[in-house]
Amino acid sequence: MPQLSQLALVIQSQWLWLLLVLAAIYFVVGRGIVSKVESTVDDRDARIAADLAEAQRLQDQAEADEEAWRNRVNAMREQAQGVTASAKADAQASLEARLAVVDTEIAARTDAAVAELDAARGAALAELESVAVEATQQIVERLTGASVAQAEARAAVTGALGHA
């Protein structure tokens, strides 16, 4: 069979073409496409690393900003407490000053009222004494029919009021 005798030639020819096609594929794919894929993967890895570094930098910055904010809030809180304490102290001092003024006024009014009461009591006692002197004179005159001098009646009333 002549077809079988040509089989070795055909196989060698096919092996040759197979090797040529595989070599072409190797050079086209291996040298052209693989290098592009590798560069794309390297670029992607570099971009991911840069993005991660930027994210870490931003996170650190955010933490620093948050710490600064907390410090400012704490400082403002302390300042507000200081202002509040100062205002309380000022209010207390003002209140004490006003209370001292009011206490002074009340003491002055009380002293004036006591003086008025003493004067009124003295006037009332003097009036009572003069009424008692007149009454004593009239009683002695009605009972005994003799008139008593005002000085004697006053001395008797003063002595009686002194014992009471």
What's the burial of 148, exposed, middle or buried (CB within 10 Å: 0-12/13-18/19+)? middle
Each residue of 138-161: pLDDT tens digit? 888 888 888 888 888 888 888 887
Q: Is the pLDDT of residue 3 over 70?
A: no
Each residue of 28-39: pLDDT tens digit? 888 888 888 899
Distance CA 143, CA 138 (A): 8
The structure tokens listed for 30 are 């291996």
The three-state secondary structure class of 1 is coil
Distance CA 116, CA 110 (A): 10
Q: By the 8 A CB rule, do 140 and 148 touch?
A: yes
Q: By the 8 A CB rule, do 148 and 141 touch?
A: yes
Q: Is the pLDDT of residue 79 over 90?
A: yes
Q: By the 8 A CB rule, do 134 and 117 touch?
A: no
Q: Is the pLDDT of residue 1 over 60?
A: no
2 falls in which pLDDT band (50, 70, 90)? low
Q: By the 8 A CB rule, do 157 and 133 touch?
A: yes
Answer whether 0.85 is exceeded by the pTM. Answer: no
